Amino acid sequence: MAKSTVTSFSFPTRVVFGSGAVSQLPELLAEYGAKRVLLVTDQGLVHAGLVERVLKLVSGSSEVTCFDRVEPNPTESCLEEAVTLLRRESCDLVVGLGGGSVLDTAKAACMRLNHPGPLNQYEIQVEGYRRVTGEVPANIAIPTTAGTGSEVGRSAVITLETDNRKAVLLSPKILPTVALCDPELTLSLPAGLTASTGMDALTHNLEAYLSTEFHPICDAIALGGIRLVGRHLVDAVKGGGIEARSGMMLASSMGAIAFQKDLGVAHALAHPLSTLSGVPHGLANAIVLPHAMLFNKPVSADRLRDVAGALGCAVGGLNELDGADLAIRKVEGLLEQTDLPNRLSAVGVEEDLLPELAAQAIADPNHRTNPRPCTCEDMVRLYRAAL
Ligand SMILES: [Fe+2]
């Protein structure tokens, strides 16, 4: 054991996984005694026809109200709209149908129902989980992307409009009651979104594996998740079928389970890129990840060599530093193979924004468990390297 401290492990989310799993929604609603359901989703899924399909599944057994206005990087006012509906319609169960933004909104709405006051008092930095003591309604999370793993995560990220930054709300009580994971729902995801969300899943697994927290069970899950990304990401992006989609959906859930160990500097760099420059979360991670790996190489070369092995590289006989280099090259190669941009300048980030980005990155709690401690100057250097 690396540490002599006592620790506690738990893996509580019930996961219903498999092709066609969404058709089990009526049985799950009956099992949890749902009388009035709030369906939280977004316009993209309304247009794709998926919302109508799920509404039919729900309306057979329960009254249903639909909130379909979740935006990417959901704001506090979007969250409050969902909570108002939840309260007004006296819903007893929430179904989240969508990507990370939707699932986070659904989870935060469940928490918010009986937890009033300023939202920032529930943030991770101020140990907000201690204030989440009231009842939280049941929540069934149905992911339609494979990346955030929000369906099995204890946190929800909501943008505070007052100071234009992302707040991470964290409590075991906002874990969805059931993660209903149906990889068929991701078959029609466009290539770009498949690639960027898939890189988010990789970043979760990789940063969790490198995190300074002691959690050997999550380490094993993280390596398993990385292995699945190495095997399936490119296939999924190139239109691969259900096997590739299943692999990526599992990798996504595994990443979010693994990041009970917390994350690292890539996520600290990625969050301000979304709030200040509008770069989608997965894409922001994808671009900064190789630079974060290089930054961590002096202290985490052994673990980075493991990452290279999990990604399918031949690491036998390689020393740690060479193995770490191989991992970095492999991740750079994944960006290339999935046609993702690899420079921040290509997604509209300009040099004069770097100080502001760095100021937010250093205030972001995610880098606290990065294996190499970061300064604000490090953040500027990392952004510049990725520019
Ligand atoms: Fe992420």
Q: What is the pLDDT of residues 230-267, one digit of tens each?
A: 999 999 999 889 999 999 999 999 999 999 899 999 99
pLDDT at 4: 56
The mean pLDDT value for 183-211 works out to 97
Q: Cα of 26 to ligand 1 centre, how many Å? A: 30
Q: Cα of 63 to ligand 1 centre, how many Å? A: 34
Map tokens 């955030």 to a residue.
148
CA angle (350 as vertex; 345, 353 as ends), nearest 5: 135
Q: Cα of 49 to ligand 1 centre, how many Å? A: 27
Q: Cα of 324 to ligand 1 centre, how many Å? A: 22
CA 319 vs CA 300, 303, 323, 326, 331: distances in Å: 13, 12, 6, 11, 19
Which CATH number applies to 14-186? 3.40.50.1970
Q: Cα of 148 to ligand 1 centre, how many Å? A: 6
167: left (phi over 0), alpha (psi -120 to 50) or beta: beta
Q: Cα of 56 to ligand 1 centre, how many Å? A: 31
pLDDT at 2 over 70: no
Render pLDDT for 142-195 as a digit per residue (tens, 0 to 9).
999 999 999 999 999 999 998 888 888 999 999 999 999 999 999 999 999 999
Q: What percent of the chain has pLDDT over 90?
A: 90
Map tokens 């379909």 to a residue.
68
pLDDT at 133: 95
Q: Cα of 104 to ligand 1 centre, how many Å? A: 12
pLDDT at 335 over 70: yes
Q: Cα of 90 to ligand 1 centre, how many Å? A: 32
Q: Cα of 263 to ligand 1 centre, how many Å? A: 9
Q: Cα of 35 to ligand 1 centre, how many Å? A: 33
pLDDT at 73: 85
The mean pLDDT value for 297-314 works out to 98
Render pLDDT for 34-91 as a digit per residue (tens, 0 to 9).
999 999 999 999 999 999 999 999 998 899 999 999 998 899 999 999 999 999 999 9
pLDDT at 111 over 60: yes
Q: Cα of 210 to ligand 1 centre, how many Å? A: 15
Q: By CB neighbour count within 10 A (0-12 exposed, 13-18 middle, 19+ buried), where does 11 fall? A: exposed
Map tokens 């979760």 to a residue.
204
Q: What is the DSSP letter of 133?
A: -
pLDDT at 269 over 50: yes
The mean pLDDT value for 211-231 works out to 96
Q: Cα of 203 to ligand 1 centre, how many Å? A: 7
d(CA 262, CA 257): 10
Map tokens 């505070």 to a residue.
160
The mean pLDDT value for 128-139 works out to 95
Q: Cα of 12 to ligand 1 centre, how many Å? A: 20
List residues, by chain if needed, whose CB lies under 5 Å from ion ligand 1.
Answer: 200
Q: Cα of 96 to ligand 1 centre, how many Å? A: 18
Q: Cα of 204 to ligand 1 centre, how many Å? A: 6
Q: Cα of 113 to ligand 1 centre, how many Å? A: 25
Per-chain mean pLDDT for the chain? 95
Domain boundaries, the chain: 14-186, 191-386
d(CA 62, CA 94): 12
Contact indicator for 258, 369 with CB cutoff of 8 Å: no
Output the pTM of the full model: 0.92
Q: Cα of 252 to ligand 1 centre, how many Å? A: 10
pLDDT at 1: 47
Which CATH number applies to 191-386? 1.20.1090.10
Q: Cα of 66 to ligand 1 centre, how many Å? A: 26
Q: Cα of 282 to ligand 1 centre, how many Å? A: 6
pLDDT at 372 over 90: yes
Q: Cα of 316 to ligand 1 centre, how many Å? A: 31
